[in-house]
Amino acid sequence: MVETLKNYIAGKWTESTSGKTFENENPSKRGEILNCAQSSTSEEMRQAIDKASEVFPMWRNTPVETRQKLVGEFLKLLADSRDELAAAVTRENGKTIRESHSEIDSALLEGEYHHRQISTFSGHVAISNKFGVAWEQYHPLGVVGIISPWNYPVNVMCRKTLPALLTGNTVVFKPASFTPWSATIMARLFESAGFPPGVFNCITGMGSSVGNAIIKDRRIRAVSFTGSTSVGRKIQALAAENLTRTQLELGGKNALIVMDDANLDEAVQAAVAAGFGCSGQWCTSTSRILLHRDISVKFIEKLVQVANGMKVGDPLDRSTDMGPVAGPDQFENISTAIAKAEKDGAKLLCGGVLKPDIGGYFIRPTVFDDVTPSMEIFREEIFGPVLGITKFTCLDEAIDLANKSAYGLSSAIFTGNIKSAQKYIDLMDAGMAHVNIHTGFKTPEMPFGGWKESGFGQPENSRTGLDFFVDRKAVYLRGI
Ligand code: NAP
Ligand code: MG
């Protein structure tokens, strides 16, 4: 019998009244059920919102030092649980154990940043006017909803939840259905850290029911969502009904430009790190490589050699370079996209789908050449270890190609020329521009968000990570 995970609502671990659960499968061993999670209903979400609303006045009036202390305690427990949590992430998501550890380290780094930042997060200084003084004051919003994806189940959740709690909001959290285990472990850490019941609630279940119930509830003041652009659109449309504030971190089709004066070994490393890391399942992964024609033969030779040498297999084995993709839906989608790219005329240089009989949802690092802007592989997010190469002859053409996308999340250029770098920085339509660094690199001080169809609302991290969760009040005081 596998363990049945429970919801964490109002400080209690409860089962759904639906009486139903769903299975959490290990993507590296098809058919191995790790545990089951509650198929909750909108009624459970309503109960969680009831409680989060009830305790909001208490939490809002809790001194910021106390909120900061509790978040500090959570971060300490997160660090202590690093190995347990990394193993759960690897087993339910399929990323390698090294990648899971680094995800948790990233959550800690960002969490510690916000934990420090809250100390100096206050309204602006008083400005005098003809009647007296005025200043800007910040207030928490109330109950906020957090909906996260399966690809970074720890990092994304913490990047949203910790700023929400630090600024005095109460939280209802719905994790992705592929990763309920790591979510439940984190809910336990919130409980152990001593957060008052109802301040943080975790409810598992389908996006279309439990997720939807968050957005439909008028008491929800803001929703922070990370996931696909198609679901983001639905959320935005629903949120408009109640004028709920949204922060949407969505899909990407990130380009890496390699100029003829680039350090090719470093550029290949960047393509591999951001193209095949986490089996290509990160929003800021590289999926399009734009190559200067003069170095294309050399670059491709090196890239294919590294890709073919990568060890794909058991993600718990430390010598594995790449694990499986997260589940049957992803396996199916990526396989279909690979077949479509071949049909459209792109040239498969290496990789492809591994036969399902090897036990899990494995896809080898895949590279396509001769990709043109009209092909789906150039335009659509595949969210798998698949790179498409398009060649160019000058920088203007490269930037034009890079911007030929509905998305605008991350990007990178490899060049030895500062003028080329500057032009790219100025003209690239994306929320992140990297020079001689791969597309996935980020630090907590910098805004994390996308342009165009890659995002909406204030970015995460940086100062805006906290800003999103507060209302502003302009105070005008006339002396008595
Ligand atoms: P997804 O299918 O959009 O799901 C994301 C979350 O939304 C899940 O918790 C899902 O629940 C829930 N959901 C689904 N339908 C919903 C609805 N109608 N109402 C409310 N919630 C709903 O995305 P995913 O497959 O988990 O993640 C991959 C996507 O996330 C990719 O497109 C990737 O680029 C994007 N992503 C973006 C960023 C960023 O920062 N920009 C970071 C990471 C990932 P269920 O799991 O129950 O369906
Ligand atoms: Mg799973």
**Which residue has its alpha carbon closest to ligand 1 atom 16?**
207
Positive/negative CA dihedral, 196, 200, 203, 208? positive
What is the C-alpha separation between 91 and 85, in angstroms, rounded? 10
What pTM, to 2 d.p., does this model score?
0.97
Active site residue 283: yes
Check: CB of residue 249 under 8 Å from CB of residue 457.
Answer: no
Determine whether the shortest distance from the Cβ of 456 to ligand 1 is under 6 A. no
Residues 110-148: pLDDT tens digits? 999 999 999 999 877 888 999 999 999 999 999 999 999
Output the average pLDDT for the chain.
97
Which residue, by CA, sits nearest to atom 35 of ligand 1? Answer: 227
Is residue 249 part of the annotated active site? The answer reads yes
CA of 278 to the centre of ligand 2 (A): 14
Q: Among 24, 178, 226, which is best to mutate for testing ligand 1, by the most ligand atoms less than 8 A from CB?
A: 226
DSSP letters for 312-345: BS-TTSTT-SB---SSHHHHHHHHHHHHHHHHHT
pLDDT at 356: 60
Q: What are the φ/ψ torsions at residue 192 (nearest 5 degrees)? A: -65, -30
Mutate to test the pocket of ligand 1, among 147, 461, 468 (most ligand atoms within 8 A of CB): 147
Mutate to test the pocket of ligand 1, among 7, 151, 172 (most ligand atoms within 8 A of CB): 151
| Ligand 1 neighbourhood includes 150 CB (under 6 angstroms) | yes
Task: Looking at the CA of 253, name the nearest ligand.
Answer: 1
193 lines ligand 1 (CB under 6 A): no
What is the gyration radius of the CA atoms in the chain, in angstroms? Answer: 23
pLDDT tens digits along 414-456: 999 999 999 999 999 999 999 999 999 999 999 999 999 999 9
Q: Report d(CA 226, CA 249) in Å as an integer.
A: 5
pLDDT digits (tens, 9 = 90+) for 352-375: 876 665 689 999 999 999 999 999
Q: Which of 191, 249, 380, 453 is catalytic?
A: 249
Return the percentage of the chain with pLDDT > 70, whole number.
99
